[in-house]
Amino acid sequence: MPIPAGTKLGSYTVTVQIGAGGMGEVYQAHDTKLGRDVAIKVLPEEVAHDPERLSRFQREAKMLAALNHPNIATIFGLEHSDGVQYLVMELVPGDTLQQRVKRDGPVPVEEALTIAKQIAEALEAAHEKNIIHRDLKPANVKVTPREKSKCWILVWRRRLTAIRRAWTSAIHPH
């Protein structure tokens, strides 16, 4: 069940849901302590109380926090409030690559190469920390208004085949 706008989670006030999938719901929220907008990821309600899923969520947060790269959304913290555990991360402005392609059609070759290079650099930084993205797809890549690509990393796992499958579908959409 989505978290309604205005809900307080610790020092964060939820403003709007900006994404949802099998691995969680993502909300835009306002950090009332630091006066900035952030993204908050919450596990889906049906698995939020599963000890194994919570443990995996915490491990993923720790892995993601070890990454520091201009093309990867920054993790600010792992929080718990009113029975809800959530990940607080950088709110990346702009559309996802999926939204952009749906709205504007195919990305021009030169720009697509720039985006692909930035994604590759982000993946390289993750691989250097022995982290492999499990769910790389156009919906998890944001293109900022300044044409900077950022991987909005929601799930990581050590499985190279998933990267190949996601990248192939991004290059050759059906």
**CA dist 168 to 1, 122, 136, 145, 173, Å?**
32, 17, 10, 25, 8
Give me the helices (H) in the chain, please. Answer: 51-65, 97-104, 109-128, 160-171
Q: Which of 24, 21, 100 is nearest to 56 (CA)?
A: 24
Catalytic residue status for 95: no
Which candidate in 31, 37, 95, 135 is catalytic? 135
Neighbours of 9 (CB within 10 A): 20
- The residues carrying an active-site annotation are 135
